[in-house]
Amino acid sequence: MSQRSWAEPWKIKVVEPIHMTTRSERERHIRVAGYNTFLLRSDEVYIDLLTDSGTSAMSDRQWAGMMMGDEAYAGSRNFYNLEKSVRDVYGYEELIPTHQGRGAEHLLSKLLITPGDHVPGNMYFTTTRLHQELAGGTFHDVIIDEAHDPASLHPFKGNIDLAKLDAIVHEYGAARIPYVCVAVTVNLAGGQPVSMQNLLDVWSYCRARGIKVMLDATRAVENAWFIQQREVGMGDRTVAEILRRMCDLSDGATMSGKKDSLVNIGGWLGLRDKALVAKAQNLAVVYEGLHTYGGLAGRDLEAMAIGIRESVQEEYIRSRIGQVYYLGERLQDAGVPIVTPIGGHAVFLDAAAMLPHLPREQFPAQALAAALYVESGVRAMERGAVSAGRDPLTGHNRYPKLELVRLTIPRRVYTQAHMDVVAESVISLFQEREKVHGLQFIYEPEYLRFFQAQFAPVGAPVVLDGPAEAYHAAVRSFALTGRR
Ligand SMILES: *Cc1c(COP(=O)(O)O)cnc(C)c1O
């Protein structure tokens, strides 16, 4: 039989117009946005690859589910539907809905971390680590070395290095380690998966020492697909079976439904231990809302209950990751340096390799994301030193080995033609890469600075116009770097 192309396993029922801007408009927009793509208005963007978070297209069934919202304050029927979906698909008996993933991270960190504790994890995630730190914990990266090498072809770059984990356990003692946080897949390593064997090894290691294992299950379905494709002996299992087995090797999970679960808002904390659940439900009323709605409307719970079941359908997940691979392979063919293997939710440009003329202090990835927007109206995001923030003890900038720009693909939103336009835009920028200018901070917020920071080109006079001007003037006096 001849090899046939695959196509998206859906057809389009509703369309949302998008439009292209001119280069001079975009030059102005990015300047007003302080060279931070998070501060652009979405109307100023042509193809929006900022994030796959909450940007998915919902199905006709999910929209129908929205109409079935039971907006009772307590005990909404949609909560029980969601609880059943999570039990069936992820296997966690106890569920606390939260407004999104970080709500669950907040509850879990407060629940398990005592000030002075240490939390190992496979590379940090911005909100996850911040909540661990705010609860008094210290994060330790125990991912394998290959994860920090954008060119390594290791099939499971998200794996935990058991020797690194063991060294942390020896240094601080198992009693000071409430849990190990295992992200599946690892967003900041480039959407890289963890193998089933590694999950099993971490689980046995931790069990023997009374340390809990908590999954960051945000993209666990995508991780399951990689296991099916790459891990010996897993090829004939369904993604749904693999996902259940992965979750079986954990005590609980935090989840951002805005990623895998195909909804625009929502998350949850999944647990098994009943005593812990009672405490988590009690914390939930303080920070999220009653434990049967957790900051969400009944209709949101229903959309997530349905989205969870759709997310594990084989043909869906194959086309989802297939589209990411299509874009990544086009860029690779043109010689653009990207993180390999290509990840599950995004193609990551290696900004450090692409812009060797810019020192790390000039934030090459931030500069590249801004330049890509000016080039083509495509919005991407920085994942490098700006996202890594400052060390809470020394106040110095953290410079992670990876200095990346993330082209994140929303689920079921764009077609292959959009991917062609994106690839052509990146390739033409790549051919003129020496023109990309470095950036410096003009405003640096204290928490998760990448969301709201503003920059100006290094050496260039700061040109301010539009509504940002007064804002700049107000913040510049205290906002220069190194103020801690
Ligand atoms: C998005 C994300 C979170 C946080 O979820 P939100 O819904 O954005 O609060 C946590 N972990 C990972 C790996 C994520 O990608």
For residue 462, what pLDDT is reported?
A: 55
Write the pLDDT tens digit of every residue in 308-320: 999 999 999 999 9
Residue 422 tokens, joined: 């994106």
**Which value, to the nearest 10 degrees, does the dihedral of the CA atoms of residues 206, 211, 216, 222 take?**
10
- CA distance linking residue 474 with residue 468, whole number of Å: 10
Q: Is 383 a catalytic residue?
A: yes
Active-site annotation holds for 259: yes
Between the CA of 310 and the centroid of ligand 1 the distance, in Å, is 20
Average confidence (pLDDT) over 437-451: 93
**Alpha-carbon span 29 to 255, nearest angstrom:** 34
Q: What is the mean pLDDT of the chain?
A: 94
Cα-to-centroid distance, 103 and ligand 1 (Å):
10
DSSP string, 400-434: -S--EEEEE--TTS--HHHHHHHHHHHHHHHHTGG
Burial of residue 356 (CB within 10 Å: 0-12, 13-18, 19+) is exposed
Residue nearest to atom 7 of ligand 1 (CA): 101
Among residues 102, 219, 259, 411, which one is catalytic? 259
Atom of ligand 1 nearest to the CA of 51: 1
Nearest residue (by CA) to ligand 1, atom 14, is 218
Res. 470: pLDDT tops 50: no
The catalytic residue among 383, 390, 406, 412 is 383
Residue 465 pLDDT grade (very low, low, confident, very high; cuts 50, 70, 90): very low
Q: pLDDT at residue 460 above 80?
A: no
Question: How many CB atoms are located within 10 Å of the residue 90 CB?
Answer: 24
In angstroms, the Cα distances linking 17 to 14, 34, 38, 315, 413 are 10, 27, 21, 27, 12
pLDDT band at 2 (very low <50, low <70, confident <90, very high): low
Q: Which of 46, 79, 125, 441 is catalytic?
A: 125
pLDDT at 393: 86
The Cα–Cα gap between 112 and 101 comes to: 17
Ligand 1 centroid vs 439 CA: distance in angstroms?
27
Instruction: State pLDDT tens for residues 204-242.
Output: 999 999 999 999 999 999 999 999 999 999 999 999 999
Out of 100, 186, 259, mutate this one to test ligand 1's pocket (max ligand atoms within 8 Å of CB): namely: 259
Q: According to the model, what pLDDT value does residue 121 have?
A: 98
Candidates 56, 102, 109: which one to mutate for ligand 1, based on the most atoms within 8 Å of Cβ?
102
Average pLDDT over residues 407-434: 97
Q: Which atom of ligand 1 has the smallest separation from the CA of 186?
A: 13
Tokens of 240: 């749904």
Residue 92 CA to ligand 1 center (angstroms) comes to 19
- Which residue type is seen at 399? Y
User: Which of 100, 127, 262 most suits a substitution to test ligand 1, by most atoms within 8 Å of the C-beta?
Assistant: 127
Whole-number pLDDT of residue 6? 79
Q: Which domains does the chain have, with CATH numbers?
A: 23-52+314-481 (3.90.1150.10), 60-311 (3.40.640.10)
DSSP 271-332: E--HHHHHHHHHHHHHHTSSTTTTT--HHHHHHHHHHHHHHT-HHHHHHHHHHHHHHHHHHH
Ligand 1 center to residue 308 CA distance, Å?
16
What amino acid occupies position 78?
N
Give buried/exposed letters for 231-270 (b at 16+ CB in 10 A, else e). beebeebebbebbbbbbebbbbbbbbbbbbbbbbbbbbbb
Q: What is the pLDDT of residues 143-192, one digit of tens each?
A: 999 999 988 999 999 999 999 999 999 999 999 999 999 999 999 899 99
Which pLDDT belongs to residue 75? 97
The pLDDT of residue 392 = 83
Q: Give the span between the Cα atoms of 6 and 1, in whole angstroms.
A: 14
List, for residues 67-103, the tens digit of each pLDDT value: 999 999 999 999 999 999 999 999 999 999 999 999 9
Distance 256 CA to ligand 1 centre (A): 5
User: Which atom of ligand 1 is nearest to 185's Cα?
Assistant: 13
Residue matched to tokens 């194959």: 318
Does the annotation mark 73 as catalytic? yes
> How far is C-alpha 77 from the geometric centre of its chain's CA atoms?
30
Its pTM stands at 0.91
- Which pair of tokens denotes residue 333? 């063919």
Q: Report the candidate in 57, 7, 11 with the shortest Cα–Cα distance to residue 315.
A: 7
216 part of the active site: yes
Ligand 1 pocket at CB < 6 A: 53, 100-102, 125, 127-128, 183, 187, 216, 218, 256, 258-259, 267
From the list 106, 61, 102, 67, the residue with the least C-alpha distance to 85 is 61
Q: Which residues sit opposite 255 in a β-bridge?
A: 268
Catalytic residue selected from 23, 60, 61, 73 = 73
Q: For residue 165, how far is its CA from the centre of ligand 1 (angstroms)?
A: 23
